[in-house]
Amino acid sequence: MRILVSGASVAGPVLAYWLTRHGFEVTVVERAPVLRKTGGHAVDLFRPAMNISEKMGVLPRVEERATGTSRMTVHQEGARRPVRVNLSKIFSAASDRHVEIMRDDLSEIYYDATRDDVEYVFDDSISAISPDGEVRFENAAPRRFDLVVGADGLHSNVRRLVFGEESRFSAFVGAYLGVLTLPNVFELDGELLIHVGVGRTAGMYGARHLGDARVLFLFRSERELDHHHHDVPRQKELLRGAFDGMHPDVDRWLDELDRTPAFYFDSITQLHMDTWSRGRVTLVGDAGYSPGPAVGGSTSLAVVGAYVLAGELARAGGDHERAFPAYERAMAEHVRGSHAAALSAAKTLIPTSRLGVRGLAQGARLISALPAGAGRALLRLTTGSARLYNSITVDDYPPPPAASRVGLGAE
Ligand SMILES: Cc1cc2nc3c(=O)[nH]c(=O)nc-3n(C[C@H](O)[C@H](O)[C@H](O)COP(=O)(O)OP(=O)(O)OC[C@H]3O[C@@H](n4cnc5c(N)ncnc54)[C@H](O)[C@@H]3O)c2cc1C
């Protein structure tokens, strides 16, 4: 049985890994010419995603590539003294198993775990999918697949082709984000330096093995701003406007906007779909249920979703009419929870008042100062994310022994 997956970032390779282990034949098509290795940002793997990575045998590499961010210095706009926070303690209060890793490192690790068994086609994109499984590509010749899965992110191409325009499913969270790659001008190693004010937060982090650093900008906007997806100069102008006069550190970061080798700007939107599946096509990860970039644990959700989808397809012997609804049922509660947690995280991360600004810094300091158990209790009370990500339970979908996989794989 042949399955086509669109997107080779996180959900795509994890799905490809487990589908292959269950005996399916997998092709992954990725729009980028090569696996992305520039830019990117730090993402979180919480316990369930760590467990899945362990079953894939890649956990040692994941842990080796962890960003190692363990300290945070918070400058509150208008306050004289920064607040220093032990981030490791917050992470351990949030989850008993957690790693922060650069998204590009993670996707390389998952890709390496699949490259020998999966056909990867880079520099191409699906242009049409017919109900009988005939797929057309922008470059390659048409091919027929039994199933197609969109793992192509928040602005999914597969979703647009099968379900229609993104605007039908996206809900603006009232904020924007920008990411800038720049030289590690403050020589940060294991430290996150953030500036937080009413309606705006900017933070810089580096990691030992990165060689450069990233700045994440988050700012509020009541209405959606007038800019085109490809109009980078306008996006940079919006960012400069939003962070004007915040702090000399932030000015220094904004100066890099003209020199940066990698820049990303987007609205923070959530995806709300009644179903992620239609006919032979389904969606996984951000493509189907993004809770919003930078405000939720969407990477963990993508890993869990990919594992569950592959498992349900195997359980149903490849019958997508049974497997897709089972996959949606298994994920629905996690998705709902992640959407709610992301909204509350957005409020905390980009405060709407001076009280919120103080609350972010002091709350983080308090949790990091408490003994682990008490810190965990406080974090549970103050954020939904910790509760959610610690409580996600995932069925076990053990793959068959290698010899019996052939039955499903061969046509
Ligand atoms: C700035 C930023 C900060 C973030 N911070 C965090 C965080 O702190 N914690 C966290 O857990 N998550 C975070 N996220 C979210 C996280 O990156 C995603 O949830 C995660 O990468 C989802 O993986 P995915 O595989 O579903 O989609 P993506 O990682 O978006 O990958 C989609 C893939 O599909 C490819 N693609 C796109 N279009 C096509 C096409 N037409 N044809 C073929 N391929 C295509 C893309 O090139 C890409 O490789 C952040 C996201 C952003 C943007």
Q: Which residue has the higher pLDDT, 71 or 37?
A: 71
3-state secondary structure of 58: coil
Give the Cβ contact number of residue 126 at 10 Å: 21
Residue with the smallest CA separation from ligand 1 atom 9 is: 43
Any ligand 1 atom below 6 A from CB of 351: no
pLDDT in tens, 216-268: 999 999 998 887 778 999 999 999 999 999 999 999 999 999 999 889 999 99
Any ligand 1 atom below 6 A from CB of 214: no
What's the Cα-to-Cα distance from 356 to each of 98, 193, 199, 205, 374, rounded to whole Å?
26, 18, 10, 23, 22
Question: Which burial class, exposed, middle or buried, applies to 92 when counting CB atoms under 10 A from its CB (0-12, 13-18, 19+)?
Answer: middle
Give the pLDDT of residue 297: 83
- What is 260-299 written as a DSSP string? -S-EEEEEEEEE--S-SEETTEEE-THHHH---TTTS-HH
Beta strand 119-122 pairing with 71-76 = unpaired
Q: Choose among 110, 105, 102, 101: nearest CA to 28.
A: 110
Helical ranges in 131-180 per DSSP H: 157-163
Tokens 């890099």 appear where? Answer: 256
Tokens 């079953």 appear where? Answer: 55
Q: Which residues pair with 303 in a beta bridge?
A: none
Any ligand 1 atom below 6 A from CB of 29: yes
pLDDT in tens, 155-200: 999 999 999 999 999 999 999 999 999 988 788 888 889 999 999 9
pTM over the 0.75 mark: yes
Q: At what angle do helices 47-55 and 298-315 cross, to 10 degrees?
A: 50
Give the pLDDT of residue 158: 98
pLDDT in tens, 101-159: 999 999 999 999 999 999 999 999 999 999 999 999 999 999 999 999 999 999 999 99
Residue with the smallest CA separation from ligand 1 atom 37 is: 152
Ligand 1 atom closest to the CA of 216, numbered from 1: 1
